[in-house]
Structure 1
Amino acid sequence: MNTRAKYETGLDKFNRIGTAANVGFHLIFILLALVCLVPVLVVLSISLTSEDSIRNNGYHLFPAAFSGEAYHYIAHQGKMITRALGISVLVTVVGTALGVLLTTSMGYVISRPNYKLKGLLTWIVFIPMVFNGGLVSSYYINSNLLGLKDTVWALILPLAVSSFNVIICKTFFRSTIPDALIESAEMDGAGQLRIFCSIVLPISLPVLATVGLFLCFAYWNDWFQSMLYINNQSLYSLQALLNSLMTNVDALAKNASSMGISYAELVATMPKESARMAVAIVIVVPVAVAYPFFQKYFISGLTVGAVKG
């Protein structure tokens, strides 16, 4: 067998191995996608299934007896749902904006090689990633020292800055923003605040979108802060309301006195399981709709920030 024939045989074998590997990877990714998608479809199916069918037949991937009574019931709880939705939107928008501002400014500061306290601040940021002060100390500081209990700020400030996001920003600024660009701006008389706002941020859209997406998801999906710091139900977010539904099937009924029927009758007739799942779908849909618009910035922010530390 001549050299050319050997080369073609080896190339064919390599192509077959590559094709098999591609098929294997596609199957793995399809399986992972199904693992993520099937639970959402089950929740959607339950929310569209009648309460009697759930009670008699259990959960199914497709509704055994289609019913929109859960969404109809939620629509009649307009005041409660609208208030919770408003709290969720307010906390997500304000928290994301504040978190991006604080995180990027801190990441930029510790990314500058000429800053004298860079090493100290880097350790201050890094240590909380390994050691946590604990729930008791956090609760004492936020409730007693800062007086955040039963305020919207209790849902915003504890999640505004995380060490992980600061490290992402630091790595991105250090690997992407040339020192020569900063030095030329300083030679032109620009201060650090002017450099950060006018030069650094406009060319840092990927990391801004990445951190903003992390914070947006964290705020939108958070219920734990409400459980810790919120006793006033008028400050419940959608997630806190869903958690209340999961732990107390009468939560909707207790807030539905305006419907003009007795509490006992309402508890007996309300769609308990399907209502819970309907609220979960209401929470998931905004994030699912918004994510595709930020996906390209999210991916580019992660890959660019991972070039070097």
Structure 2
Amino acid sequence: MASGKKRKKRDFHHISRGWNAVLNVVAGVFAFLCVFPFLFVVIISLTDEKTLARDGYRLLPAQWSLEAYRFIFRTSDTLLRSYGVTIAVTVIGTVISLILISLYAYAISRKSFRYRRFFSIFAILTMLFNGGMIPTYMVVSQLLGLKDTIWALILPLAMNAFYIMILRTFYSTSVPDAIVESAKIDGAGEFYTFLKIVLPLSLPGLATIGLFSTLGYWNDWFNALLYIDNPNLVPLQSMLMRIESSIQFIQQNSQNSSMSLAALQSIPQDTSRMAMVVLATLPIIFAYPFFQRYFVQGLTVGAVKE
């Protein structure tokens, strides 16, 4: 009877070569469909502007051109400075975010913590209600005095209630209470237990939250719009938006502009937009391989295990 159950279990998990090939093809097609939009954006950014206006969007344009990238890199000093600001904000912000979120989530995940219910409700309420844009601006710029500082790009995004709930669930399901209790019996303090025992077991959850925080900081442009007037502190996303706004302004007011018609037509409007997308997206793509090892495990937190 037992052997029959084991045979059925093996048959259930076994996949024939034919079905394995079909599933691989389906997965490959799905992966290609996910990657294709970005590849198409790269192709458009490398297309000549006049060819794009004449022939439309094509996979194989009649004429290739790097004019869109040349147009953006004419302000190379500004672009490199914006890249530096964005990288600094992303690295520092992700580290601070991981420290704050991991400590908060660990505290409310422990049943021995007396005020875990209060702080859990407090975090959840921030997901449902907020003070609004004007009070937030007054707190950041006037009360805290962070306007025109790099901290105005870091601190407003450092805490996220949704990430706290994810990591709290990970701690509750993946860190056994017996391990924590045994460390306390051996005389370990709370911080030692957290640093030496809990964190090594929580790498998948931390990697997932770290990736989310990295994406949030890298793609943020709204805080720069609100709090940054100093051109030396403008991040990449905000700087690219300003370039696009300048192009649109020149195009829309070409009749009142002192520039010649030929110079106005030479501005790569559509291809430069795609080049901006490539410049803003390509660096963050390289962050995925560093998190990929733990990312799937972090997403399946709380799943039923056999």
TM-score (norm 2): 0.81
Contact 1:150 1:231 in 2 (8 A): yes
**Residue identity opposite 1:103 in structure 2:** I
Aligned match for 1:232, one of 230, 233, 239: 230
Aligned match for 2:36, one of 14, 32, 38: 38
- Report the 3-state secondary structure (helix = DSSP H, G, I; strand = E; otherwise coil) of the residue aligned with 2:247: coil
Aligned residues: 282
Matched, 1:90 2:88: yes
CA distances 1:6-40 after superposition (whole Å, capped 9, x unpaired):
xxxxx9xxx99x96xx969965x667545543332
Alpha-carbon distance, 1:209 to partner: 0.7
Which whole-Å CA distance do the structure 2 matches of 1:251 and 1:152 have between them?
Answer: 28
Relative to structure 2, which stretch is displaced further, 298-307 or 221-230?
298-307
Which whole-Å CA distance do the structure 2 matches of 1:90 and 1:267 have between them?
Answer: 35
Which whole-Å CA distance do the structure 2 matches of 1:77 and 1:232 have between them?
Answer: 17
**Residue identity opposite 1:69 in structure 2:** E
Matched residue, 1:259:
none
Contact 1:169 1:305 in 2 (8 A): no
Matched residue, 2:200:
202
**Cα 1:155–1:305 shift into 2, 3 Å:** farther
Runs of 5+ consecutive residues of structure 1 not aligned to the other structure: 1-10, 253-262
**Cα 1:83–1:202 shift into 2, 3 Å:** same
**Residue identity opposite 1:59 in structure 2:** Y
Matched, 1:299 2:296: yes
CA distances 1:79-130 after superposition (whole Å, capped 9, x unpaired):
0110010011001100000000000000000001011000000000111222
**Cα 1:306–1:130 shift into 2, 3 Å:** farther
Which whole-Å CA distance do the structure 2 matches of 1:88 and 1:269 have between them?
Answer: 30
Runs of 5+ consecutive residues of structure 2 not aligned to the other structure: 1-10, 251-257
- Report the 3-state secondary structure (helix = DSSP H, G, I; strand = E; otherwise coil) of the residue aligned with 2:147: coil
- Report the 3-state secondary structure (helix = DSSP H, G, I; strand = E; otherwise coil) of the residue aligned with 2:113: coil
Contact 2:174 2:201 in 1 (8 A): no
**Cα 1:108–1:50 shift into 2, 3 Å:** same
Which whole-Å CA distance do the structure 2 matches of 1:196 and 1:251 have between them?
Answer: 54
Matched residue, 1:130:
128
- Report the 3-state secondary structure (helix = DSSP H, G, I; strand = E; otherwise coil) of the residue aligned with 1:132: coil
**Residue identity opposite 1:273 in structure 2:** D
Contact 1:250 1:267 in 2 (8 A): no
Matched residue, 1:215:
213
Could you tell me the percent identity over the aligned residues? 42
Matched residue, 2:287:
290
Which whole-Å CA distance do the structure 1 matches of 2:32 and 2:160 have between them?
Answer: 31
Runs in 1 of length 4+ with deviation above 4 angstroms? 22-27, 29-35, 265-268, 305-308
After TM superposition, the structure 1 = structure 2 runs for residues 37-56 of structure 1, keeping only pairs within 5 Å, are 37-56=35-54
**Cα 1:81–1:133 shift into 2, 3 Å:** same
Matched residue, 2:187:
189
Matched residue, 2:240:
242
Matched residue, 1:58:
56
Contact 1:42 1:62 in 2 (8 A): no
**Residue identity opposite 1:152 in structure 2:** I
Which whole-Å CA distance do the structure 2 matches of 1:287 and 1:250 have between them?
Answer: 27
Which whole-Å CA distance do the structure 2 matches of 1:233 and 1:140 have between them?
Answer: 22
**Residue identity opposite 1:281 in structure 2:** V
Alpha-carbon distance, 1:282 to partner: 1.5
Alpha-carbon distance, 1:292 to partner: 3.0
CA distances 1:152-177 after superposition (whole Å, capped 9, x unpaired):
11111111111111011111111111
Contact 1:226 1:240 in 2 (8 A): yes
Which whole-Å CA distance do the structure 2 matches of 1:155 and 1:164 have between them?
Answer: 19
RMSD of aligned Cα (Å): 2.9
Alpha-carbon distance, 1:58 to partner: 3.2
Matched residue, 2:151:
153
Which whole-Å CA distance do the structure 1 matches of 2:49 and 2:232 have between them?
Answer: 28
Alpha-carbon distance, 1:279 to partner: 2.2
Contact 2:208 2:294 in 1 (8 A): yes
Contact 1:51 1:273 in 2 (8 A): yes
Contact 1:154 1:225 in 2 (8 A): yes
CA distances 1:28-70 after superposition (whole Å, capped 9, x unpaired):
x667545543332332122101122223333333333211122
Which whole-Å CA distance do the structure 2 matches of 1:31 and 1:237 have between them?
Answer: 36
Relative to structure 2, which stretch is displaced further, 57-66 or 183-192?
57-66
